[in-house]
Structure 1
Amino acid sequence: MTSISPAQFHSATGVADWRVTAIGPQAVFVAPSLIEGSRLVPVVVAAAERHGVRPDVDLRPEAVVVRVPSGEDGIPAAATDFARAVSEGAASLGLRADPARVQSVGVYVAEHSGADVRPFFLAALGYDAVGDTDAADPLRSGPVLAFNPLTGDAPGRGRTHLDVFVPADQAQARVDAAIAAGGRLVDDANAPAWWTLASPDNHGVDIASWTDTYE
């Protein structure tokens, strides 16, 4: 399968509604009702069949979320034609895209270097193992988990932080909103790829946008 980078995806015509997060290209089309949103579903299915793409479709009363999951090789090249067809169908139905609602969430579990906690989380969540370090919901509705060994830490102290992947053009606003809501900036050395924030009680959150611009 031919694959493309996020930058190549965004360089295509007709994909302005879409943004790339850690799970792949994604668009959110606002709908005034469940019935009106449901009219986009057959458009998505037809485009998927026509272009050989296997998308995820999340129909809600407020919006329709359409994602093209990235595989091990990256974004399928056919995703651009698929995205264009879906956007054209949404426009014909009067559904507008809202890039500010696009996001994906990952949970990073820090574990002592002598521990292996992934089997526990796989069993408890019903997740599938992905590669050597990650775990994923087989239906791709829950957050991806990644397990990061630590050295020099105390055994028996489990720690986690969240990675929130947002569109590159929405990242600064998300950071500003989190700080205004009581958070603090821990590290912006890697901005605009990602910012590390902490909650008022020191919970860690990274706001990441690099997946939307990666070459």
Structure 2
Amino acid sequence: MSESTSESARISAAQFHRAPDVSDWRVTEAGPVAVFTASSLAQAAALVAPTVAAAERFGILPDIDLRPEAVIVRVASRDFDGIPAAAPQFAAAVSAAAAELSLTPDPSRVQTIGIYVAQHSEADVRPFFLAALGYEPLGETDAVDPLRSGPQLAFNPIAGDNPARGRTHFDVFVPADQAQARVDAALAAGGRLVDDSNAPAWWSLASPDNHGVDIASWTDTQG
């Protein structure tokens, strides 16, 4: 039986981080995420069974991404309503299991990629991308991979822009304690700072050939 008090109860990122024993985890646009590095596929796979057991215990539906180098566990965000209230207990249980298996947490490797598709104010391009990518609608403006393996898309109208031109940029959601280092690395690699007026929530950068990338950490700190 699930120990979750209510499937509908939600908490914020700040509330999640104030919970005990969740220091391995960071919150991105996809929800709380932890990366545990491994020396082999077998070692990484050993975390799957205790993660499933914790998911059933606390009523959580996690995503588990298994690789030879690491296992990534996400409390997947399937709506815009916040983090499940039982997520901290689930996260703590997974971290305890990872420690027993000698898997090493590496919060610096947590990230989620989003693509923001800019469209003319008179255009509606979401149906095209839903069909072309096999995605599903999320809310009024977004689109998601049904299995959450691809980046989430958001569609942002640009009033008065040239209807023959699309302007799309990447959002890279990283932990708040990693954001400045990621910005510095991108600038050192030839990037250009476009706007830091919203920092430390996010920085807007441009590549050497002027493609846009926002380094965003606000999801890891929001109320």
**TM-score tier (shorter):** over 0.9
Count of residue pairs brought into register by the alignment: 215
Separation in 1, partners of 2:179, 2:17: 17
Alignment of 1:157 onto 2:165: yes
**Please, which of 147, 151, 154 is the counterpart of residue 155 of structure 2?**
147
Instruction: String of CA shifts for 1:105-147, please: whole Å, max 9, x gaps.
Output: 1100001111111000000000001111100000001000000
Separation in 1, partners of 2:50, 2:126: 39
Separation in 1, partners of 2:168, 2:156: 9
1:149 alignment partner AA: P
Cα deviation, residue 72, structure 1: 3.1
Separation in 1, partners of 2:163, 2:180: 36
TM-score, length-normalised on structure 1? 0.99
Separation in 1, partners of 2:29, 2:23: 18
SS at match of 1:201: coil
**2:210 is matched with which residue?**
202
SS at match of 1:169: coil
**2:48 is matched with which residue?**
41
Cα deviation, residue 200, structure 1: 0.2
Cα deviation, residue 61, structure 1: 0.7
Instruction: Report sequence identity in percent.
Output: 72
SS at match of 2:123: coil
The Cα RMSD (Å) is 0.6
Unmatched runs of 5 consecutive residues or more in structure 1? none
**2:106 is matched with which residue?**
98
Separation in 2, partners of 1:210, 1:14: 22
**2:20 is matched with which residue?**
13
Instruction: String of CA shifts for 1:70-112, please: whole Å, max 9, x gaps.
Output: 2332100100000000000000000010011100011000011
**Which aligned segments of 4 or more residues in structure 1 are displaced greater than 2 angstroms?**
none
**Please, which of 19, 39, 43 is the counterpart of residue 32 of structure 1?**
39
Separation in 1, partners of 2:86, 2:120: 41
**Please, which of 111, 114, 125 is the counterpart of residue 117 of structure 1?**
125
TM-score, length-normalised on structure 2? 0.95
Unmatched runs of 5 consecutive residues or more in structure 2? 1-7
Instruction: String of CA shifts for 1:13-53, please: whole Å, max 9, x gaps.
Output: 00000000001000000010101100000010000000000
Separation in 2, partners of 1:38, 1:78: 24
Separation in 2, partners of 1:213, 1:176: 20
1:117 alignment partner AA: V
Cα deviation, residue 158, structure 1: 1.3
SS at match of 2:177: helix
Separation in 1, partners of 2:199, 2:158: 24
**2:200 is matched with which residue?**
192
Separation in 2, partners of 1:114, 1:77: 40
1:212 alignment partner AA: D
